[in-house]
Amino acid sequence: MKKILYGATAVALVVTLSIGVGCKKDSPVDCAAQVNKVTAAQTAYATNDSKANCDAYKSALQDYLNGCGSSLGSSERASFQSIVDDMTCP
């Protein structure tokens, strides 16, 4: 069940990120690359829900929020941060 929730969250995140990536052009962080990392980590975790893949997915989400989270609204950022904080890897 958690895997489905995380997958749905990732889809929502990718859609949101796709819209917001262009909002901060002066950012030294490549937000498109961050989105790609999140997507790749989510795909790997969905394929094989090992602890390593879960940790990589959680880390990719956190890295995105740290580097590009300012392009999200405060409520979106808080929601995604809550998801990251609540993720427990087996």
Tokens for 52, please give them: 């390593």
- How do residues 32-54 score in pLDDT, each as one tens digit? 999 999 999 999 999 999 999 99
Percentage of the residues of the chain whose pLDDT score is greater than 90: 60
Write down the pLDDT at residue 60.
Answer: 96
* Cβ–Cβ < 8 Å for 67, 42: no
DSSP symbol at 25 = T
Does pTM surpass 0.85? no
- How do residues 3-22 score in pLDDT, each as one tens digit? 555 665 655 555 455 545 44
